[in-house]
């Protein structure tokens, strides 16, 4: 079930609060908080997102229609609150490359099938992603990989 956008204001506030608390373990196995500064506003933001662990880095997915990825892409560094620890990272963004994004998104949705609805993708009777919806989603999908400043990587490498 897809949570309505207006409800996300409350959901994100609760997620941020919980992920910053000693009870973070209830959510921190799949959610982190990205702390960054708006490139135009100069305001500080904290955005909770689902992540996939990649060795020392993490991978997140979003859509071209949201703003946070543009801010982290332009930043020299952001901090991620992961499993109760705040660590500086550098973001690397991949967009407009459906052939490279597809296997990454399929792997992510295999881990978190409930997130397919946020990509506007459904599953067929055999549990496979709807091919037409997947193609449309790939046209607007953005992959953001975060790597600790001490260990830069390339998108798609999980080591």
How does pLDDT run across 6-18, given as a tens digit for each residue?
A: 887 888 888 899 9
Tokens for 64? Answer: 């071209």
For 70, list phi and psi in degrees, rounded to 5.
-65, -40
**DSSP helix/strand/coil, 19:** helix
Check whether domain 5-148 has CATH 2.30.110.10, yes or no? yes
Rounded to whole angstroms, the Cα distance separating 140 from 145 reads 16
Tokens for 78? Answer: 């952001």
Tokens for 148? Answer: 């600790």
Query: In this predicted model, what pLDDT tens digit does every residue of 87-99 receive, in sequence order?
Result: 999 999 999 999 9
Q: What is the pLDDT of residue 159?
A: 47
User: Checking DSSP bridges between strand 141-148 and strand 85-95, what pairing results, if any?
Assistant: antiparallel
Q: Where are the domains of the chain?
A: 5-148
Q: Is the pLDDT of residue 25 over 80?
A: yes
Q: Please give the share of the chain, as a percent, with pLDDT higher than 90.
A: 70
Higher pLDDT among residues 156 and 18, named by residue: 18
Higher pLDDT among residues 4 and 90, named by residue: 90
Higher pLDDT among residues 107 and 1, named by residue: 107
Query: In this predicted model, what pLDDT tens digit does every residue of 112-140 receive, in sequence order?
Result: 999 999 999 999 889 899 999 999 999 99
Q: Is the pLDDT of residue 2 over 90?
A: no
Report, as an integer, the average pLDDT of 63-78: 91
Query: In this predicted model, what pLDDT tens digit does every residue of 134-146 receive, in sequence order?
Result: 999 999 999 999 9
Q: Is the pLDDT of residue 151 over 70?
A: no
Of 68-72, 88-92, 152-156, least confident by mean pLDDT is 152-156
Contact, 28 vs 83, CB < 8 A?
yes
What is the reported pTM? 0.86
């Amino acid at each position: 079930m897809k949570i309505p956008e207006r409800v996300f204001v409350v959901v994100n506030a609760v997620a941020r609060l919980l992920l910053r608390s000693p009870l973070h373990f209830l959510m921190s196995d799949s959610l982190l908080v990205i702390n960054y500064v708006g490139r135009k506003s100069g305001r500080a933001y904290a955005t909770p997102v689902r992540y996939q662990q990649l060795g020392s880095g993490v991978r997140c997915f979003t859509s071209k229609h949201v703003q946070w990825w543009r801010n982290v892409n332009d930043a020299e560094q952001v901090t991620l609150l992961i499993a109760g620890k705040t660590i500086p990272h550098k973001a690397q963004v991949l967009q407009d490359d459906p052939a490279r994004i597809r296997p990454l998104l399929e792997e992510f949705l295999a881990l978190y099938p409930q997130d397919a609805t946020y990509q506007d993708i459904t599953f067929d009777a055999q549990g496979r992603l709807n091919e037409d919806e997947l193609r449309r989603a790939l046209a607007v999908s953005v992959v953001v990989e975060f790597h600790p400043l001490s260990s830069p990587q390339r998108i798609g490498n999980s080591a």
